[in-house]
Structure formats: C-alpha cells, structure tokens
Structure 1
Amino acid sequence: MQKLADSVCIRCGKIRVYSKKWVDRAEGKGTQITHIEAVCPDSECQKIVDEKFRLMRERRELAESRKKGITIAKAK
C-alpha cells in the first residue's frame, strides 16, 4: 500500500500519494537530504498538472533570459 501524502492535488483535490523517495547529499557531501515525490493518484490528472507546471517553468525561464539580456545605461 502506498502512503498518503499530507497534501491534496491542486487540480482535483484528492489526497496525493508518495511515488518516489531518494536520498541525496548537499553539493555531493555533508548533510543528507531526503527527497519524496508526491503525485495525484489519478494518472490522467497528474499528466495535466505536469503539463501545466512545464508551461509555467518555460515562461519563467523565458522571463529570466530576457532579464539577462537587458543592459542599463549609466547616467553621465
């Protein structure tokens, strides 16, 4: 049985379930960090949510790349 997460799906409101768990180290050394991925139990709903987040991430990356290209002129 999969454990239930403490959060609900942002789209359908169902209680999310844990899908993966892995341990990593900060910068390859030091403190161990445990990552747990929680997903919606409805796979079709999760696909829609993943696509929504992918689009949001692309828009954010595009905005950040535009910021880097801006040159501010110095006042004389």
Structure 2
Amino acid sequence: MNGPHTVIPFGGWTISREGVPQAPPDGYTMECRICKKDSGLRFDSEGACDWAATHVDQNPTHTAFHEALGRYWRAIRK
C-alpha cells in the first residue's frame, strides 16, 4: 500500500502523493456490484459506506459492493 510519503521513481520522473495544502482530499465511491449504482464521489469513506448501507436496506439482495479510492498524485521531472 502507498502511504502519504511514498515516492515512486520512474524514468526521469518522481511520482508522489500531492502534498500541497490546496490539494483535494481523497475521494471515495461505493458501487453496487449487482445493479452498478454508486454513491457518487464522497470525501470520506463513512459517507460512501452510509450510502451502501442505505442501498442494501432498500435492496436486500444487493449485498456485494466495490470501493474505489481516488488519491491525488503529482509527477515531477528529476
């Protein structure tokens, strides 16, 4: 797993997590694997999980979900 201080060298580039204060927060989405509906982009994992709990409550056979996590990275030429 890549932590906030991970640096990945690649060719003439260094790729690392976006570290500036104005960088967007991590984004989370939960998608129902049965009907493909999703939570939409949330900026906390709890919000995405809340959506999944509501969705399964309304659709009791929809018990499988996929979580997508979006993190912001930046490439800098060495």
Tell me which protein shows more helix as a share of its residues: 1
**Bigger RCO of structures 1 and 2 (CA < 8 A, at least 6 apart):** 2
**What TM-score, normalized by structure 2, do the two folds share?**
0.32
**What TM-score, normalized by structure 1, do the two folds share?**
0.32
